[in-house]
Amino acid sequence: MAKVYRQRRFEMPAGATDLLLARHGESAAFDPNKPFPMKEGQSDPELHEEGWHQARLLAARLQTEPIQAIYVSSLRRTLQTATPLAEKLKLTPQIDPDLREVHLGEWEGGMFRIKEHERDPVMSKKFHEEQRWDVIPGAESNDSLRTRLVAALHRIQAAHSGQMVLAVVHGGVIGHILSHATGARPFAFVGAGNASLTRIVLHQDRIIVRTFNDTTHLET
């Protein structure tokens, strides 16, 4: 009988880190009469009630996965999103400040929300044409963002060879990591849903993208 060759399935490289990137749940609505609290110059809203619900659904999705560590940024909406799963797995989330959201300069404190809803010319045209965060006055550059995110990924990879890890982060962070990994335009992957899952594999100097914006656990 002739030998046949089936398609090969993906196999995790030896020593690779299986990294799940979850975006935080929906954060609190912005009230112009009550600006968001600030932390180190960045907006630090808590989760909206819907965000807590999303966090519980995320925990139910991941509670049987062999997650060895949970990372969060220094902004509280990521820690709050991670809390239901951390309690189930009896893990203490580790804070890595380099995983924080893009610094939005003069549009921090809730102004970014207003500019989005009002379709500010910078937001609706220049922002997407130039694919740069720093078209916003005082905002972080793409290069600065890349430098700190790559450093954070290297630390996670070095600490968790051969393990599965969850990092609860931000939409801008997920978008930039995937554009860096794939060579796509900087904003190609901006738009991951709240409490969505993106899966990447860190192996040596490679970032292998496995899934993006999985929200099946939210579809109740």
| pTM for the model | 0.95
CATH number of the domain encompassing residue 54: 3.40.50.1240
Say if 169 falls within a structural domain.
yes
**Is residue 35 left, alpha or beta, with left meaning phi > 0 and alpha meaning psi from -120 to 50?**
beta
Task: Decide if 116 is inside a domain.
Answer: no
Domain span including residue 168: 17-27+36-103+140-215
Cβ atoms 113, 200 nearer than 8 A: no
pLDDT in tens, 161-216: 999 999 999 999 999 999 999 999 999 999 899 999 999 999 999 999 999 999 99
Strand order in the sheet with 17-23: 94-95, 67-72, 164-169, 17-23, 197-203, 206-214
Q: Tell me the CA distances in angstroms from 220 to 24, 92, 203, one per residue in order.
A: 18, 28, 35
* Residue 122 domain flag: no
Residue at 3 is within a domain: no
Give the three-class secondary structure for 23: strand
Domain count, the chain: 1
Tell me if 183 is assigned to some domain.
yes
- For residue 211 the two structure tokens come to 């899934």
Residue 10 lies in a domain: no
